[in-house]
């Protein structure tokens, strides 16, 4: 078993930008061992003063929209402009094997080999919406290590969008054109969450369709109620292959940041996210502590077959278990 680093070794390594120690620290925060979680809490507290200076961007879209291709092209553009970029890519974990493909580094080969970038694929595990339970901590570690832009890629399914929206500054939605009616089947909720929409793969024969899709989305956005932060989401055409639209997307994000800082929403949003994180942590730790209780475990194990056979109402058992502790 590899020797675990001490708190000062983790802290000093991260603050000096040591990528190997950063990787080890993220492995630490992903651990479910109580001792590792205690060390993680101390580490996050130590590096907290060195966080908060980056721009946190969530990127989502249905499978096949080209999220990894976009992130590689967008990330390289940011690197060329002098930024240090970290990518936290959450892969869907198998519910059968509990394994994870972790293929993002392969799909972002050029970005992964650039020393100015840091890519960390993490299995989503059992956490809400496919977002790694350690994503927030990993984001703070990357900020403390000196990365200017943090890109968080979601699995693009289920409730992962909501979870990521609650931990980033700007939420970018990637869409495709040419699949019939572009607005067919689009959930109003995801459209309302987006701070910017990118019509991806807008090149070649698909360019005319992409332009029509842009008009459709712009018209659809006008039907939504005005945002309390007074921001009108923009729709941008982009091609990761042709390298078009990438600078325009970055300018949109910077414009958003400038406006949100001036109207006070930037810090207000981050403050709300910190409280949301607190609520999530309380729920998570309560659940873990509850299930470790010997009486709860014994009663739960003996009654699972009755629930499974339909002889016992799950709600009745749940209330019984709660009364054992509270």
Specify the CATH number for the domain of residue 131: 3.40.50.300
In tens, the pLDDT along 71-118 reads 999 999 999 999 999 999 865 543 433 434 444 555 677 888 888 899
pTM: 0.88
* Other residues' Cβ atoms within 10 Å of the Cβ of residue 295: 10
Same domain, 229 and 81: yes
Same domain, 73 and 181: yes
Specify the CATH number for the domain of residue 25: 1.20.5.170
Same domain, 163 and 243: yes
* Percent of the chain predicted with pLDDT > 90: 60
Same domain, 22 and 157: no
Specify burial of residue 162 (Cβ count, 10 A radius: 0-12, 13-18, 19+): middle
In tens, the pLDDT along 121-176 reads 765 555 543 355 688 999 999 999 999 999 998 865 556 777 888 899 999 999 98
Over its C-alpha atoms, the chain yields an Rg (Å, rounded) of 22
Strands 149-153 and 55-60: parallel
Same domain, 86 and 15: no
Same domain, 236 and 89: yes
Average pLDDT of the residues in 209-226: 86
Q: How many domains does the chain divide into?
A: 3
Query: By residue range, what is the domain housing residue 37?
Result: 1-50
In tens, the pLDDT along 268-295 reads 999 999 999 898 889 888 988 999 999 9
pLDDT exceeds 70 at position 297: yes
Q: Please tell me the number of Cα atoms within 13 Å of 38 on its side-chain side.
A: 4
* Percent of the chain predicted with pLDDT > 70: 85
């Amino acid at each position: 078993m590899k020797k675990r680093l001490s708190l000062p070794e983790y802290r000093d390594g991260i603050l000096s930008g040591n990528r190997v120690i950063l990787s080890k620290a993220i492995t630490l925060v992903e651990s479910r061992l109580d001792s590792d979680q205690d060390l993680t809490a101390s580490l996050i507290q130590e590096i907290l003063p060195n966080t908060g200076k980056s721009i946190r961007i969530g990127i989502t879209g249905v499978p096949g929209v080209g999220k990894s291709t976009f992130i590689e092209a967008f990330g390289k553009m940011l690197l060329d402009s002098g930024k240090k970029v970290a990518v936290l890519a959450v892969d869907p974990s198998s519910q059968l094997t509990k394994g994870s493909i972790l293929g993002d580094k392969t799909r972002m080969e050029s970005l992964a080999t650039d020393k100015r970038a840091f890519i960390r694929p993490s299995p989503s595990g059992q956490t809400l919406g496919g977002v790694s339970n350690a994503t927030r901590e990993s984001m703070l570690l990357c900020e403390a290590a000196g990365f200017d832009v943090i890109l968080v890629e979601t699995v693009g399914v289920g409730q992962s969008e909501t979870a990521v929206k609650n931990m980033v500054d700007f939420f970018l939605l990637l869409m495709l054109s040419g699949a019939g009616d572009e607005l067919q089947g689009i959930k109003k909720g995801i459209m309302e969450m987006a701070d910017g929409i990118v019509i991806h793969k807008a090149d070649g024969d698909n360019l005319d369709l992409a332009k029509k899709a842009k008009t459709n989305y712009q018209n659809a956005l006008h039907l939504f109620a005005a945002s309390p932060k007074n921001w009108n989401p923009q729709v941008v055409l982009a091609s990761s292959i042709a390298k078009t639209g990438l600078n325009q997307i970055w300018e949109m994000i910077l414009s958003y940041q400038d406006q949100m800082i001036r109207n006070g929403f930037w810090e207000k949003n981050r403050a709300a996210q910190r409280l949301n994180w607190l609520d999530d942590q309380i729920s998570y730790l309560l659940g873990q502590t509850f299930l470790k209780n010997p009486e709860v475990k014994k009663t739960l194990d003996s009654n699972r077959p009755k629930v499974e056979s339909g002889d016992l109402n799950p709600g009745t058992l749940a209330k019984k278990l709660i009364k054992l502790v509270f």
